[in-house]
Amino acid sequence: MRSFHYKFLDKPKRWLLCPMCRKPMREPLQVSTYGHRFCDTCRQDLRVPVLL
C-alpha cells in the first residue's frame, strides 16, 4: 500500500485513516455513491466510481 510509513507525534484522527488498510490516507478519493473515502490504492481494489 502507498500509505504513510512515518511516526506521528500524535495518533492520527480516525477520519484521516483509510477504512480498508487502517493507515493514514495518501491521495484519498471519495466514493461517489456512498461518500466514503479511501486511499487511491484501496479504491482501485474496490473498482468503484469516485467524485473528482
Domain count for the chain, please give it.
1
Q: Which residue range is the domain that position 32 belongs to? A: 16-51
Is 11 part of any domain? no
Query: Which residues are bridge partners to 50 per DSSP?
Result: 31
* 38: nearest Cα among 10, 21, 11: 21
The pLDDT-based confidence of 34 (bands split at 50, 70, 90) is confident
- Report pTM: 0.64
Q: Give the whole-angstrom CA distance, residue 4 versus residue 52.
A: 22
Is 45 part of any domain? yes
Is 2 part of any domain? no
Is 8 part of any domain? no
Q: What is the pLDDT of residue 40?
A: 81
CB atoms within 10 A of CB 28: 15
